[in-house]
Amino acid sequence: MNDIFLKACRGEAVPYTPVWIMRQAGRYLEQYQAVRRKVDFLALCKTPELAAEVTIQPVDILGVDAAILFSDILIPVEAMGMELEFIDGRGPVLSPPVRDEDSLNRLSVADPGEKTGFVMQTIRILRKELEGRVPLIGFSGAPFTTATYMIEGGTSKNFLNTKKMIFRSPGLYAALMEKVTRTLTAYLKAQIEAGAQAVQLFDTWGGIFSPADFREYALPYVTGIIGELRDWLESRNSGHVPVIYYVGETGGLLEEIRSCGADVYGIDWRINLDDAVKRLGGDAVVQGNLDPAALFLPRHGIEERVKDILGRASSARGHIFNLGHGVLPETPPENVVALVETVHHLSGK
C-alpha cells in the first residue's frame, strides 16, 4: 500500500509530500456528476455502492495519496432525530432547529450501527475495493460546527442563534454539546472499526470565535473526542489511527488548537504555513494550505504557489499538501490533476 500519507501524519520521513484534497470527490468531476444524475445527494450518501464509487473516482483520476469517505457531516445529526434535507441553492436544512429544552430532549445519542450503518458498509466496501492502494480517511464534523447547523437550522452568516444560546442559555448549550460529542465519538469509533485508517474532524466554523471563547465553548469537546479515541484504541491494542483537526480561519486560534491532542493540524490559506508552524511549535505536523481559488491559475501559477507552500512547510515535522478548504465546484479538473502532479514532482517523487 502507498502509506506515505500515514507516515506523514506520524511525522515520519517520507520520500515526497503526500497530497489529498478536501472535497476531492464532487461536482467539478464529470464522473461524479454522472453518478449524481441517478440519485439525489442524500441518497448518494446512503447508498454504499455509489458512495464507494465516488470516493474512489479521485484516486483513479487525480492520483492522490489518500481517499476520503464520501459522506456529509450532517449524517449523524439526522441520526440523532433531526429532519435533514438538501435544497438546491440553499444547502442543508435541519428542522426543527434546536433552541430550547423541548427540541433538545427530542434528540438522542445516536447508535452508529443502528442509525448510520450505511456509512460503515461504505467503508468496508472501500477497504476491499481500494485493495491497499491508498489509505482511507473517515471523518465527522467537530462538535461545535455540528451544533451550529442544529441551532441555526442550516448555514448562517453571523451564527446569531448559536451565540445567543451560548451567552444566554449556557446550560442548554452545554447539554446539546454533550449529546453531540457523545454521538460523534461513537460515530468515529464505528468508522475506525469498519476500516478507516485516519479520521478528520472538520471545525469549519470554529474561526467565528475569539480565542478565549474558542477555548471555552469549542476546544474542550474536540479534546474530549480525541482523548477518548486515543484511550479506546489503546485499550483495544488497535494501533495508532491519526486524527486530523481542521479549523476554518485558523490563524487566530493556533495557540489554542495546539493543545487538542491531534496528530495533524489542518491550516487554511489565510496564514502563511511557516508562520502557522512557528506558532504551533516545530514538532507540529500540518496539512494545507493552498487557496482553493488558486486552482483557477494557469499551470505555471499553480506551480509557483505549490513551491512556496512546500518551502514554508519545510520547518514542520511533517506536511500533507491540501487546500485550505474544499475544492470549488467550478474548478477545471485538469488543474487539480496538475496540482497533484506538481506536488509530487517538486517534493521529490
Cα gap 219→299, rounded to integer Å? 39
Query: Cell numbers of 12, please?
Result: 515520519
DSSP state of 181: H
Query: Residue with C-alpha cell 500533507?
Result: 320
Q: Is 149 considered catalytic here?
A: yes
Largest Cα span, the chain: 57
Q: Is 106 considered catalytic here?
A: no
Main-chain phi, psi angles of 166, to 5 degrees: -60, -45
DSSP state of 313: G
Which of these is catalytic: 28, 149, 173, 187?
Answer: 149
Q: Is 102 considered catalytic here?
A: no
* List of E strands, the chain: 67-68, 83-87, 91-95, 136-141, 198-203, 243-247, 264-266, 285-290, 318-323
Which of these is catalytic: 10, 16, 36, 279?
Answer: 36
Which of these is catalytic: 3, 23, 173, 182?
Answer: 23
Round the CA-based radius of gyration of the chain to a whole number and report it. Answer: 19
| DSSP codes, 278-303 | HHH-TT-EEEEEE-GGGGGS-HHHHH
Alpha carbon distances (Å) from 221 to 140, 184, 234, 241, 286: 13, 10, 20, 19, 21
Which of these is catalytic: 27, 124, 215, 258?
Answer: 27
Query: Cell numbers of 156, please?
Result: 448562517
Residues assigned a catalytic role? 23, 27, 36, 72, 149
